[in-house]
Structure 1
Amino acid sequence: MSKLHPSGSEMDLGRPNIEEYLTEAIHEPIRDKLLLRDLLDISPALTEAAGAIIDDSFTRCFKSNPPEPWNWNVYLFPLWCLGVVIRYGILFPARVVILAAGWVVFLSSFIPVHFLLKGHDKLRRKLERVLVELMCSVFVASWTGVVKYHGPRPSMRPKQVFVANHTSMIDFIILEQMTAFAVIMQKHPGWVGLLQSTILESVGCIWFNRSEAKDRETVTKKLREHIQGVDNNPLLIFPEGTCVNNDYTVMFKKGAFELGCTVCPIAIKYNKIFVDAFWNSKKQSFTMHLLRLMTSWAVVCDVWYLEPQSLKPGETPIEFAERVRDIITVRAGLKKVPWDGYLKYSRPSPKITERKQQIFAESVLRRLEEK
């Protein structure tokens, strides 16, 4: 009963607090009005703040994370300098020689095969497939690539498509050295575009232009035709549609999951101890990206060929895509986020975002000073 009926001393102790509360309550409407007015005044800034928070969550998927500096004292700095000399003075020239020799062997073999075996399509495709795999192996060797493959090697069968998470264009090279995939890829300018339109088309690769809406229908038609061919190379798609920094996976596009065929997931995880393999195409050309890899110690990664998946009864292509993304995310130890990777190409520049964040911070500081 004592808990329900406080003693007189407890009531005496509480009386000043009650009187103080009643006194403050008289002025509460005025305070509420002032608080409401301040919130209305600052609402645009709050909107900008929310946008900045969301934007920060999104940009984490597309940011390179530089390693922590370790050459900060007199003992480690000489070792770091020795490493620079070895990487740039010994490894890099040796890798350039390997890459140049590989190109000489490849071109001297590919050109005759491509033009002299026009009437023997089956033999020509087989030899071109072997040569493309060889050239991709040369590229991996030029990075001192250490790649560990897990699971059965992909086979050539109709009505199947392979999907993988995407960190860089080197994903394609690493997968291609084991199996000559026909990949779906954005059309690139420069020497990469030249390779796409000449050499890589020989293995059945399909190109598209992201800015052309009509390309979607054309690509979808080509995809459906490709998966029906018994002799066609396995089809490889990166359903994220853009390079992500190998810490996250963004939304998978549903195109690969509405073809009515078996989907074979591939998980790729890079070890960042020697180099970060993420290609930030907004800040770096692919040529500079390759140079960074060739001047690193090594490119180390694991590739898992996972169990094939099929559309379940009552499951939509979007749900199917999310289920496959979950499988890849878990196997590669990545984090799943709900963003559409294509927003990367339409979002404002970092300078504009930083300016908006600065304006918001200044408005908050002004409010605090007025108080």
Structure 2
Amino acid sequence: MDRLESSSSDLDRPSIDEYLAADSVQCSPKKLHLRDLIDISPALTEAAGSIIDDSFTRCFKSNPPERWNWNVYLFPLWCLGAVIRYGILFPVRVAVLAAGWIFFFSAFFPVHFLLTGHDKWRRKIQRKLVEMMCSIFVASWTGVVKYHGPRPSMRPQQVFVANHTSMIDFIILEQMTAFAVIMQKHPGWVGFIQKSILESVGCIWFNRTESKDREIVARKLREHTQGADNNPLLIFPEGTCVNNQYTVMFKKGAFELGCAVCPVAIKYNKVFVDAFWNSKKQSFTMHLVRLMTSWAVVCDVWYLEPQYLRPGETPIEFAERVRDMIAVRAGLKKVPWDGYLKYYRPSPKLTERKQQNFAESVLQRLEEK
């Protein structure tokens, strides 16, 4: 009975042609009712679900450089550049990196095991060796890094926070000052370096999927900031790599330690290569290969004025104020997203396949009509 009443009420509703001009109605071969528009709601829902170019996804999307205006003059030059980058620069850079690792290991492990009773000297030598190895990494990309502001110093009650584009952020900052960084655990050769080498400078590792790790890390952070002889503490409060055009929400952990927060702004110039590491699409090894086959990695680093928690200011407000400073200095756009959502979203392949399926279904309907 309810269905009959709803059907009769639908028939009593005005049709769209009553709201159109008379000439447009005459051109329409079929009378269109409001209920006909409801039939397209599933298609609209599917279309909305297929859209992936939103303000969140753009934060983690690689932005390749604009294509050349190809012609007969530029193509030979591009081929010559490819031969130089892949045939000359890349082998030389690999040789430099390999020689650096050989020298580093031949010095690091003897110092680590032979100077057991001289902790002060051992930490000092290991700190210099880690800085040297990071400098070799930067040289293997032909890194052109310009540092602005006073160099960080070792003192208690301070923590450095920076925007995060790639793991090379740590390498670029580490070559000037041996920071103790808070970093996600990684597998493979990166994990080996974390465990055997970087722990010597006080680095702290965590696993974002383990809730117990957060409590342990929070305790270690407080203990580290109290030590006068500890290396400066470096935290990337975004918690994930962002594409150096946006900045996502800062986690408040670094801003509730009760110490000075020193902002660091990092901005990469994409004239030669995009330094963003999309960890979902590329391993860190292939990311390094891409950097080593480019002409150069160009970036600026600004060490900004230390900031303190103001009276009546919450740690979240403090984090937003520091994020504003970094965004303005590095020319980044602020978005109100939690970067950890990146790890709980569908993979890019899944969304691209869904988008392609929807496009094919629309084209098929158009062809049928």
How far the C-alpha of 1:136 sits from its partner, in A, is 0.3
Aligned: 1:30 with 2:14: yes
The DSSP-based 3-state class of the residue aligned with 1:57 is coil
- AA in 2 matched with 1:113: V
Give a deviation string over 1:225-254, Cα, whole Å, max 9, x none: 111111110000001111111111111111
Superposition RMSD on alpha carbons, in Å?
2.4
Distance 2:180 2:109 in 1: 20
Distance 2:366 2:34 in 1: 16
Pick which of 358-367 and 177-186 moved more: 358-367
Matched residue, 2:191: 193
**Aligned partners of 1:71 and 1:77 also within 8 Å:** no
- Go from structure 1 to structure 2 and tell me whether the alpha carbon gap of 1:38 and 1:231 turns closer, same or farther (over 3 Å shift): farther
**Aligned partners of 2:180 and 2:233 also within 8 Å:** yes
- AA in 2 matched with 1:233: N
Distance 1:332 1:168 in 2: 15
- Go from structure 1 to structure 2 and tell me whether the alpha carbon gap of 1:166 and 1:159 turns closer, same or farther (over 3 Å shift): same
* Counterpart among 257, 260, 264 of residue 259 in structure 1: 257
- Go from structure 1 to structure 2 and tell me whether the alpha carbon gap of 1:196 and 1:249 turns closer, same or farther (over 3 Å shift): same
How far the C-alpha of 1:63 sits from its partner, in A, is 1.2
- AA in 2 matched with 1:88: Y
Aligned: 1:202 with 2:186: no
Give a deviation string over 1:100-154, Cα, whole Å, max 9, x none: 1111211111111111111011111011101100000000001100000000001
- AA in 2 matched with 1:226: H
**Aligned partners of 2:52 and 2:351 also within 8 Å:** no
Give a deviation string over 1:52-85, Cα, whole Å, max 9, x none: 5576321111111111222621111110111011
* Counterpart among 56, 61, 76 of residue 63 in structure 1: 61
How far the C-alpha of 1:314 sits from its partner, in A, is 1.4
Q: Give the share of equivalent positions with the same residue, in percent.
A: 85
- Go from structure 1 to structure 2 and tell me whether the alpha carbon gap of 1:49 and 1:134 turns closer, same or farther (over 3 Å shift): same
Q: Give matches, 1:50-89, under 5 Å.
A: 50-53=48-51, 56-70=54-68, 72-89=70-87
How far the C-alpha of 1:357 sits from its partner, in A, is 3.8
Give a deviation string over 1:19-76, Cα, whole Å, max 9, x none: xxxxxxxx994237x8764565545554555555576321111111111222621111
- Go from structure 1 to structure 2 and tell me whether the alpha carbon gap of 1:73 and 1:220 turns closer, same or farther (over 3 Å shift): same
Give a deviation string over 1:257-316, Cα, whole Å, max 9, x none: 111111110000000001111111111111111111111100000000001111111111
How far the C-alpha of 1:181 sits from its partner, in A, is 0.2
Aligned: 1:235 with 2:219: no
Distance 1:75 1:366 in 2: 42
* Counterpart among 111, 129, 132 of residue 131 in structure 1: 129
- AA in 2 matched with 1:229: G
Number of residues of Structure 1 aligned to a counterpart in Structure 2: 345
Distance 2:232 2:12 in 1: 71
- AA in 1 matched with 2:263: P
Distance 2:36 2:253 in 1: 48
Distance 1:139 1:35 in 2: 67
Distance 2:278 2:40 in 1: 36
The DSSP-based 3-state class of the residue aligned with 2:159 is strand
- Go from structure 1 to structure 2 and tell me whether the alpha carbon gap of 1:55 and 1:128 turns closer, same or farther (over 3 Å shift): same
Distance 2:223 2:82 in 1: 50
- Go from structure 1 to structure 2 and tell me whether the alpha carbon gap of 1:364 and 1:125 turns closer, same or farther (over 3 Å shift): same
Kindly name which structure, 1 or 2, has the bigger radius of gyration based on alpha carbons.
Answer: 1
- TM normalised by structure 2 equals 0.87
- Go from structure 1 to structure 2 and tell me whether the alpha carbon gap of 1:173 and 1:43 turns closer, same or farther (over 3 Å shift): same
The DSSP-based 3-state class of the residue aligned with 2:298 is strand
**Aligned partners of 1:45 and 1:363 also within 8 Å:** no
**Aligned partners of 1:168 and 1:277 also within 8 Å:** yes
- AA in 1 matched with 2:67: P
- AA in 2 matched with 1:273: V
- TM normalised by structure 1 equals 0.86
Distance 1:30 1:368 in 2: 28
Distance 1:55 1:97 in 2: 41
- AA in 1 matched with 2:266: I
Distance 1:363 1:299 in 2: 43
Matched residue, 2:94: 96
Matched residue, 2:301: 303
Distance 1:234 1:348 in 2: 37
Q: Give matches, 1:169-188, under 5 Å.
A: 169-188=167-186
